[in-house]
Structure 1
Amino acid sequence: MKRLYIASTLLFIVLASCFSSDEDKSVSNSNALGINLPDGFKIEVFAEVDNARSLAVSPSGVVYVGNRASDKVYALRDTDGDWKADEKFVIASGLNMPNGVAFKDGALYVAEVSKIWKYPNIEADLNNPPKPQLITDDYPTEGHHGWKYIAFGPDGKLYVPVGAPCNICESDEIYASITRINPDGSNREIVAHGVRNTVGFDWHPDTNELWFTDNGRDRMGDEFPPCELNKISSNGQHFGYPYCHGGDIADPEFGSKRHCNDFVRPQYNFRAHTAPLGMTFYTGEMFPAEYKGDIFVAQHGSWNRSTKIGYRVMRVKVENNRAVDAEVFADGWLNDATQNQTGRPVDVLQMADGSLLLSDDYGNKVYRISYE
């Protein structure tokens, strides 16, 4: 088993060296915010929001923002069309890590750690939100990886992940999974196993397959194991946790129990501790044509690494329904020399005009990225 682990580790070092040159590729076009972007792109502050986390947008253009460290859910509205929010509403407060927000059929859905609420006809009066309806309170109460990203899929169901209640452990089936429920909270089923902690996913615009980010375990050193980008091809697939990481690395504590060949390999391995969270397939018309169909991933950044990494937005290139490469799209929130950060990207959301919104829970902002 030890020989297998060493061989897997050496293989990942080779793979990581291939990927790192693309991931560390510098971008240009710095701006007043100190953020670097490719030429022609612009970043501006859309709104100031404390601990801005997950994002959702309604057909009318109202943007909803969840919290993790705080207890609130916000609504942002741009009434004069200048792409800066001039109205901000507190939709809810006193909630337990209300990270997840989703919008469907005029209703806002909010996910706490163990509960999901529905605010029907939310935009009838944002100053006086309706009393929420409890959809379900049947999710685990553990706070460790308990905050949730939620979104409605092409099948009309609400997808709700359940993180592992630990850094690395074996646990009941409901943990380290992605579930889905009907909009009324009924008929919960598990669609993916072995998912340590996903805080972002999206569906391929052509195949409707669910792609998701996953944060790798801690306490294996600066470069191991990788964080992942995965794809669900059929319900019930297992993605390795806690037995295998990055497709090839047997876990030093649990790897002897299962072989890495038993699990679905990642579509792409990000560097360890970059903490990929929100992601979206780009389907808009604003950006240059070569961006269409690619994935933008917000990397929240490391917390237990000797030198920090992440704090940026990645572009993952997708060809023939496969991730083939990745490069830095936006950075500058981390000063490599001083190791000081000014922001931590969390979620990325495409707007109707093709621009992107990006939340930052450290800088307490929601940005808009556009192309001129």
Structure 2
Amino acid sequence: MKKTLLTNLSASLLVLLCLAGCNSKTDTPATTDKGETPSAAAEDTLSENVTEKPATDANLAKITLPDGFQISYYAQKVENARSMVLGPDGTLYVGSRDKGNVYALPDKNKDGKVDEVIVLAKGLKMPNGVALRNGALYVAEISRITRYDNIAANLKNPPKPVVVYDKFPTEEHHGWKYIAFGPDDKLYVPVGAPCNICLSKDPVFASITRMNPDGSGLEVFAHGVRNTVGFDWHPTTKELWFTDNGRDLMGDNLPPDELNRAPKKGLHFGYPFCHAGEILDPEFGKGKKCADYVAPVQKLNPHGGTLGMEFYTGTMFPDTYKNQIFLAEHGSWNRTEKIGYRVSLVRTNAQGQSSFVPFASGWLQNGKEWGRPVDVELMPDGSMLISDDMNDAIYRIIYTGKK
């Protein structure tokens, strides 16, 4: 397990430094003249037995994978590719954030590469999240959810979208959304905190909400969630698991990002009072106890930008990957030494113990990134797709080794 917590003395010094020099109302990058404490080289988890796999593209040749795995391009020139959802016919739907587009990527001949990149919609307000239900594509913008009916039959001539819900907050800070339908047939929609660290009067902020497919019955399912851009349901227990990005401006190594489990409605995961289950916030933690909130299942890289996640339920990878969690680490934006820019694996056992290891890495080279993984999506054959909003690409990872 990654060692991310400092000693009590070091943590106290970091809190004092943050109180002296950090502005909790802004996401200004951390710098030493503002009281931040630069870290030494980031500690990493022990990886699995890895070798560099050959690839035809110069950048793909830099990706390191466990033995037996290979990576290739599934699609290129998908501008600002973000969250993904796969249709029953094999068409991949992809949202974006800054570009404002929603894409359809068909692969009719099933050769492991898309036939074309179709722009379904453009000019939208950060349409990050996409979900499918009964042939309809749901798209999440900042303040609304829209629906495109019978989308697979109309890729070149999409229908006029139906507004499902349009009363979400309009704040852009953490306003882009990942969405998915749960086992209860409800649409789960997070609403991030409108700040780095703050306590909002509106309880919909810093939460995961859910609603009926027609937009009715909106309710808060989970509280105290700063910003999740990825979640999935356990294949066996059907419990919701989600990533959460830790606050900024507490130093390079505090707090960790989180992987959380929500077995029922109404739980509170700490924000803005407590981070990672044991770090009281220097501003909002006064008079609070971390024991009053749900601790994460696994602490992740601090400022790693952990976004999409998915349980592996395919059969292509070795059995040791069954029902384990793949995470996309988008990468740090304000850390003295960059971290993330990879896909990682969280393994859990029957005793509830977990470990956190790299799976695919190499998008960060000598402190310079050439790609930023955002989301993961499984294919029917058990291969795995990874979106990259910096390299405008979708990658495909397959396993060809011995099981």
Letter in 2 for 1:9: A
Q: Aligned with 1:9: secondary structure?
A: helix
Change (3 A) 1:321 1:58: farther
Q: Is 1:119 the counterpart of 2:148 in the alignment?
A: yes
Displacement of 1:320 in angstroms is 2.0
CA distance in 1 between partners of 2:176 and 2:143 (Å): 9
Q: Aligned with 2:228: secondary structure?
A: coil
Letter in 2 for 1:67: S
CA distance in 2 between partners of 1:212 and 1:81 (Å): 31
Residue ranges of structure 2 left out of the alignment (5+ in a row)? 1-6, 15-41
Match runs of 1:101-120 below 5 Å? 101-120=130-149
Q: Aligned with 1:44: secondary structure?
A: strand
CA distance in 2 between partners of 1:168 and 1:46 (Å): 38
Displacement of 1:9 in angstroms is 3.5
Contact 1:27 1:331 in 2 (8 A): no
Displacement of 1:124 in angstroms is 1.3
Residue ranges of structure 1 left out of the alignment (5+ in a row)? 13-18
Count of aligned pairs: 359
Change (3 A) 1:282 1:105: same
Displacement of 1:31 in angstroms is 2.9
Aligned to 1:9: 11
Superposed CA deviations along residues 220-251 of structure 1, whole A, max 9, x for unmatched, are 11100000000002100000000001111000
Letter in 2 for 1:183: P
Displacement of 1:365 in angstroms is 0.2
Letter in 2 for 1:184: D
Displacement of 1:60 in angstroms is 0.9
Aligned to 2:323: 293
Displacement of 1:321 in angstroms is 7.3
CA distance in 1 between partners of 2:50 and 2:357 (Å): 9
Displacement of 1:73 in angstroms is 0.0
Q: Is 1:22 the counterpart of 2:45 in the alignment?
A: yes
CA distance in 2 between partners of 1:93 and 1:371 (Å): 35
Tell me the TM-score normalised to structure 1 length: 0.93
Instruction: State, as a whole percentage, how many aligned pairs show the same letter.
Output: 58
Superposed CA deviations along residues 50-70 of structure 1, whole A, max 9, x for unmatched, are 000000011111100000111
Contact 1:27 1:328 in 2 (8 A): no
Superposed CA deviations along residues 280-311 of structure 1, whole A, max 9, x for unmatched, are 00010000000001000000000001110000
Match runs of 1:244-323 below 5 Å? 244-320=274-350, 322-323=352-353
Q: Is 1:95 the counterpart of 2:118 in the alignment?
A: no
Contact 1:152 1:158 in 2 (8 A): yes
Letter in 2 for 1:61: G
Q: Aligned with 2:171: secondary structure?
A: coil
Tell which deviates more after alignment, 321-330 or 69-78.
Answer: 321-330
CA distance in 2 between partners of 1:255 and 1:6 (Å): 16
Q: Aligned with 1:252: secondary structure?
A: coil
Contact 1:177 1:192 in 2 (8 A): yes
Contact 1:316 1:323 in 2 (8 A): no
Q: Is 1:342 the counterpart of 2:370 in the alignment?
A: yes
Match runs of 1:53-68 below 5 Å? 53-68=82-97
Contact 1:8 1:248 in 2 (8 A): no
Aligned to 1:85: 114
CA distance in 2 between partners of 1:178 and 1:279 (Å): 16
Tell which deviates more after alignment, 76-85 or 26-35.
Answer: 26-35
CA distance in 2 between partners of 1:264 and 1:87 (Å): 44
CA distance in 2 between partners of 1:322 and 1:51 (Å): 36
Contact 2:47 2:359 in 1 (8 A): no
Displacement of 1:21 in angstroms is 4.9
Letter in 2 for 1:226: P
Match runs of 1:88-237 below 5 Å? 88-171=117-200, 172-237=202-267
Contact 1:73 1:90 in 2 (8 A): yes
CA distance in 2 between partners of 1:60 and 1:23 (Å): 39
Displacement of 1:30 in angstroms is 3.3
Aligned to 2:75: 47
CA distance in 2 between partners of 1:237 and 1:320 (Å): 23
Tell me the TM-score normalised to structure 2 length: 0.86
Q: Is 1:361 the counterpart of 2:389 in the alignment?
A: yes
Contact 2:49 2:66 in 1 (8 A): no
Aligned to 2:25: none
Displacement of 1:125 in angstroms is 1.9
Letter in 1 for 2:213: P
Contact 2:84 2:375 in 1 (8 A): yes
Displacement of 1:326 in angstroms is 1.2
Aligned to 1:37: 65
Displacement of 1:89 in angstroms is 1.1
Displacement of 1:271 in angstroms is 1.9
